[in-house]
Structures are given as structure tokens and as C-alpha cells.
Structure 1
């Protein structure tokens, strides 16, 4: 749903199935709204590895200079969350016109698309659980370009909602949680906009609400 507000390109409360009618889910996942906000989870066991992971794409294409804001609640760990942004084909194609993807990570960083992706609430491996960071990568490829602290608590102590904000302004990319900046990075060859999507690594369950994309 496109907002009429001049400074806002897109708003979606993510509060019901009607809010996701044009979203696209890749991988074997389930969406529900038990608390009036989007709950995303895999329906496959984590033993299935990358085949158990899911991506939920917003259908809109966005320009290069934007702010993306959303609310997040961690419900079950281990796992991790990723936001893909500025995703489109390597020759500029619409993301949905490319070969079908089914969730394995390699399809997204060494497939036929270019994208940035920020990973947060990284709780999959022991090292990640011991020292929490947010990572920014640029693809094609698996290029780690920035890293910063992740202030999100574990599920046991989490209350939420946690306010997440990503900004891209003429190649300057920053990411903040509850107004605490995790990292900033400048790309002298920035990607030219595209789609955004939420990715989860099983068996994590996360909840999302109040997605907003604004023009910078």
C-alpha cells in the first residue's frame, strides 16, 4: 500500500493477512498474526540446513536514497535475521523476474541478483551468541563491508518492540536499533535501489510490524 504522505513512499502495519497479499515468500515458511503483527517462521526443521531458511519480500521497488523503519520482536532462538535491500537483477531486472529462489543463502549472495543485506539478532552459532554483532554485506559476492554491536537482548530478556532503522543516503549506509547506531559505511559505487525482504534462519521465530520506507 503506497502512502499519500509526501515524505513517505510506503507504509504497512504488517498486522493481518490482508497486509501481505502481494508479498512473496521464498522457502517453506509460515506467516501468522497471533498478536496483530507479522510472525514469520520456517516449517522445516533446522537439521535441513539452508533449505529450512525463508525470505519474505515486499513487492515494491524503492529508489536509492531511503530510510527503512520497522518494529521487531525476537520470539524464539537460535537463528538470525537479515534485511535485504536494494535487491534487483544483476542487469537491472525486476527481482521477481529472475529464476525462482527457495531460501538457501547462496542463491542470494551468489545468484543472479545484486543486493545489500544487514544481519542482526545473530544467535545461530556459539560465537555469535557470545559476542553480538550486526553485519553489512554487499552482493553479488559475500563481501563483509561493515560491522557493529548488536544491543538486542536474548529472547529470555527481550520485551520489544525494538525500533530498527536503516538509512541509505548517496552511498552512506547506517543502521540503528532504538536510536543506537550500530554501524555506518560509505559505498563509492552504491546500488541503484530495488526491493527489500526479511530473511530468517531456522529455527528462529521473529515478529515484525509498522514497516515504513521514506524518501531521503
Structure 2
């Protein structure tokens, strides 16, 4: 696990981009870096296992990175929906929140993991393979209970395959946000009222997911 604080150092690539955070899940989650909100359901856990973050839950779960993001950035990670003989194995809900804020209280991390409890946040959301893998949706939550679907798919290749490792990329450039899967553009949105800053969270419900790493780069 590695956290890079830009006030101290920079890790620049060939293009001048800077890695501001990366985590390989080689050790237990640092509670100062990760906040788990998980519905109280049986046979549910969030754990690190064999170098992967595992979300294995009967109900809803959000794992927040406790670092506020602003400016232009790119988030990449690898993620697999596991289908075997586990009690929670279900091909559904490779989801995420990003640039999340609570307009009503300063502390974002006050919820139990139940999906409806997030309705009053301001943020972007992708539900990849939601509703039993029947739809993939992009929403903007407006902080007042409104969360309109801005774009949606209901056919392959925009639905999940079992036990396939996906490379997920999320980009924020100015007022534009985009979501990519294996270098395929799923969603792109030029927001007339961009969210200036907020938090990223892995999101899912009733399924088992393995996340292999995460890297955030300043563009």
C-alpha cells in the first residue's frame, strides 16, 4: 500500500502526469484511508485476501477512499465479479460513486450501506450490470433526492461477464467526466454544473467482487 502526498513529493510519468494515490491491497485496509459502509446482512464481509480487496456481501456496501479529489484526474482499477459457489455470488452491480459530497453535513461517511440512504448526496454514479445484469446506467445525483439517468445500455458488450477481470477507468477533465471499460468508452458527460471536488467509493450489492489495485493520477 502506498499513499503519495503531493505536498511532499510527486511521481511523474512520461507525460508529466502525477500519481497521487495507489493501493495494491497487499496488506489489511488502513482505516485512516478506507471507510466501509456495509448493510448488516448475514454472510457479509469486506476483506483483503490474496492481494485483492474483496466485497462479499448479501446487502449493499460502499468502500470509500478517505481522500477528497479535485482538479483533473484519472482513476484506474481492475475488478472481477466472481461467480462460483459462494453464498453471495450473483452476476450484478459492478458500481462506483465519485466526486461525492453531502450538501447537508460536512462528514460524508454516515451511512449504513443501504442504497437509498445515498439519494441526498451530490455525486456521479455508474451501475455496471445492475438489476441482475440487465442494465448499465450513468447518473448524476443532485443532492436533493434527484438522481436522473443520463445514459443507459441494456445489451452486450455493456453488461457483465462472469469471472472476467475488467480494467475500469474514470476521467475528470474540466467539466467533463467519462467512464471506460477495457478502453471502451461507456459514458461521457459535459456537465454544465460540474462538481468541484468529492470522494470516490467502490459500490455494490448482493454479490462478490475482487478489486486488484487502484491508482489515481493527476492529469
Same topology, TM > 0.5: yes
Does residue 140 of structure 2 align to residue 138 of structure 1? yes
Does residue 147 of structure 2 align to residue 119 of structure 1? no
Match of 2:217 in 1: 214
Match of 2:36 in 1: 25
Alpha-carbon shift at residue 21 of structure 1 (Å): 5.5
1:66 aligned to which of 73, 86, 92: 73
Match of 2:199 in 1: 195
Match of 1:167 in 2: 171
Structure with greater proportional helix content: 1
Looking at structure 1, the residues matched to 33 and 49 of structure 2 have their Cα atoms a distance apart, in angstroms, of 20
What is the TM-score when the length of structure 2 is the normalising length?
0.79
Looking at structure 1, the residues matched to 164 and 114 of structure 2 have their Cα atoms a distance apart, in angstroms, of 30
Looking at structure 1, the residues matched to 197 and 115 of structure 2 have their Cα atoms a distance apart, in angstroms, of 21
Match of 1:48 in 2: none
Does residue 51 of structure 2 align to residue 36 of structure 1? yes
Match of 1:2 in 2: 3
- In 2, are the aligned partners of 1:109 and 1:142 still within 8 Å (CA)? yes
Match of 2:26 in 1: 15
Alpha-carbon shift at residue 118 of structure 1 (Å): 1.1
Q: How many residues align?
A: 193
What is the TM-score when the length of structure 1 is the normalising length?
0.80
Equivalent position SS for 2:161: coil
Equivalent position SS for 1:33: strand
| Structure 1: 5+ residue stretches without partners | 45-51
Higher relative contact order by CA 8 Å / sep ≥ 6: 1 or 2? 1
Structure with greater proportional strand content: 2
Looking at structure 1, the residues matched to 11 and 107 of structure 2 have their Cα atoms a distance apart, in angstroms, of 25
Match of 2:116 in 1: 106
Change (3 A) 1:193 1:36: same
Alpha-carbon deviations, 1:60-85, whole Å to 9, x = none?
11104211110011103243122111
Query: Aligned runs of 1:179-194 on 2, under 5 Å?
Result: 179-194=183-198
Two-structure CA RMSD over aligned residues (Å): 2.2
Alpha-carbon shift at residue 91 of structure 1 (Å): 5.5
- In 2, are the aligned partners of 1:14 and 1:20 still within 8 Å (CA)? no
